[in-house]
Amino acid sequence: MTSPTEPSSTPDFLRHDRPPVPDVTVPRGVQPFHLQHKPVRGRLVRLGPLSDALLTRHDHPPAIARLMGEALALTAGLAAALKFRGSFSLQVKGNGAVPMLLADCTDDGALRGYARAEPARLQAALAVEAEPPAAALLGEGYLAFTCDQGPEMDRYQGIVSIEGTTLADMTRHYFRTSEQLRAHVQLACARTAAGWRAAALILERVAGEGGVDPALSEEAQEEAWRTALALAATLTEAELLDDALPPARLLHRLFHAEGLVLDRPRPLSYGCRCSRARLASVLTGFPAEDLDHMAENGAITMTCEFCNIDFRFERADVRPGAGRA
């Protein structure tokens, strides 16, 4: 069978084959939970081997890989709250060494992401600090969270300025200012003996209805929230990233005395959605002179930003305004 990255006798708009990317699924990638009759719900995200499959597609320095891993875990955790079919994305644009950071996850757990670096700025940042924090890499700019419910529905997007040192700080700032939602966010990503691992713990303070004990006073609800935060603060990065510590056991360690209820876990998978048909459709939107400029030795090469795979198109086969995929 012809590789989907190469030209063939089959028209490009019919070629929706998956490119040669890792086939990785983590069955219990997201473990939702709540504390019975208390105003606390959350998600524990463990990407496991999916972290390594996603992060090693690009040859990024450890500081960027760590930032990207945190973004992937965060996005997977927030996407798990979707009540509709669609996708949730995190996008950060700044003026630093990493001017673009993007991660998105569908409602069924297909996860992907990429980071774009400016080599000169990155070299300067790494010269100052071997492991610069997110703020030093991203610089000044904005953070956007987007819910996309498909072409027939309006997209919802919340945007705030980059505030804070870490990506977790920036996310908490977003929740405070854009959603007026009290939340705890803890992110971790590191290279372990088994490869890259990324994880997240997200807690949300829910309103006083919908499963909260009606006899619980506002003061008691606030105390339950403070207790949950104090318990979450005892969680270490090593515990978050430990493959040998199952999510259910980890959550039991933290919240067993607070009425922990585990909800149905959700899978996560390698989710790049590129195809020859999709990229061919993009090419047909360019005018002929731009296509000629892109061509080298009679061929155009397009690289998927997410999976870092090259697709080659014969220039003679690409026609501006041709049928879209």
Report the pLDDT value the prediction gives residue 16, as an integer from 0 to 100: 81
pLDDT at 152: 67
Q: What is the pLDDT of residues 128-177, one digit of tens each?
A: 888 899 999 999 999 999 988 766 667 788 999 999 999 999 999 999 88
Q: Does 265 lie in the same domain as 140?
A: yes
β-strands 266-270, 110-116: how paired?
parallel
Same domain, 44 and 150: yes
| 209 — pLDDT class (breaks 50, 70, 90) | low
Domains in the chain, number: 2
Do 1 and 51 lie in one domain? The reply is no
* Confidence (pLDDT) at 211: 63
Report the pLDDT value the prediction gives residue 323, as an integer from 0 to 100.
46
Q: What is the mean pLDDT of the chain?
A: 90
Cα–Cα separations (whole angstroms), residue 33 to 72, 105, 247, 322: 20, 20, 11, 49
H/E run at residue 267: strand 266-270
pLDDT-derived band of residue 196, with 50, 70 and 90 as boundaries? very high
Q: In this structure, are 14 and 96 located in the same domain?
A: no
Q: What pLDDT is recorded for position 1? A: 55
- Judge whether residue 324 has pLDDT over 50: no
Report the CATH number at residue 253.
Answer: 3.55.30.10
Structure confidence at residue 208 (pLDDT): 59
251 shares its domain with 182 = yes
What is residue 19's DSSP assignment? Answer: P
Looking at the structure, tell me whether residues 182 and 310 fall in a common domain.
no
Domain boundary among 270, 286, 301: 270
Same domain flag for 116 and 53? yes
Print the domain residue range for 158: 25-270
Are 1 and 40 in a shared domain?
no
> 3-state class of 159 per DSSP?
strand
- Domain shared by 124 and 184, yes or no: yes
- Judgement on whether residues 262 and 317 belong to the same structural domain of the protein: no
pLDDT for the residue 8: 85
Q: Of 112-121, 181-190, 220-229, 268-277, which range is least confident?
A: 268-277
User: What's the confidence (pLDDT) of residue 157?
Assistant: 87
Region 315-320: what's the mean pLDDT?
A: 86
- CA 317-319-324 angle, 5° bins: 105
pLDDT of residue 226: 96
Structural domain ending residue among the three candidates 230, 248, 270: 270
User: Mind listing the pLDDT tens digit for each residue in 30-83?
Assistant: 999 999 999 999 999 999 999 999 999 999 999 999 999 999 999 999 999 877
Residues 240 and 301 in one domain: no
Report the CATH number at residue 290: 3.90.1280.10
Q: Please give the Cα distance from 262 to 64 (Å, whole number).
A: 33
* pLDDT for 151: 67
Report how far residue 173's alpha carbon sits from residue 164's, in angstroms, rounded to the nearest whole number.
8
- In this predicted structure, the answer to whether residue 325 has a pLDDT above a threshold of 70 is no
Q: What is the pTM of this model?
A: 0.90
Question: 50 burial class (0-12, 13-18, 19+ CB within 10 angstroms)?
Answer: buried
Out of 255, 270, 285, a domain closes at 270
**Same-domain pairing of 242 and 291:** no
Average pLDDT over residues 104-114: 94
- For residues 6-30, average pLDDT: 86
Q: For residue 83, what are its two tokens?
A: 């009540």
Name the DSSP letter for residue 322: P
pLDDT of residue 255: 97
Residue 247 clears pLDDT 50, i.e. is over it: yes
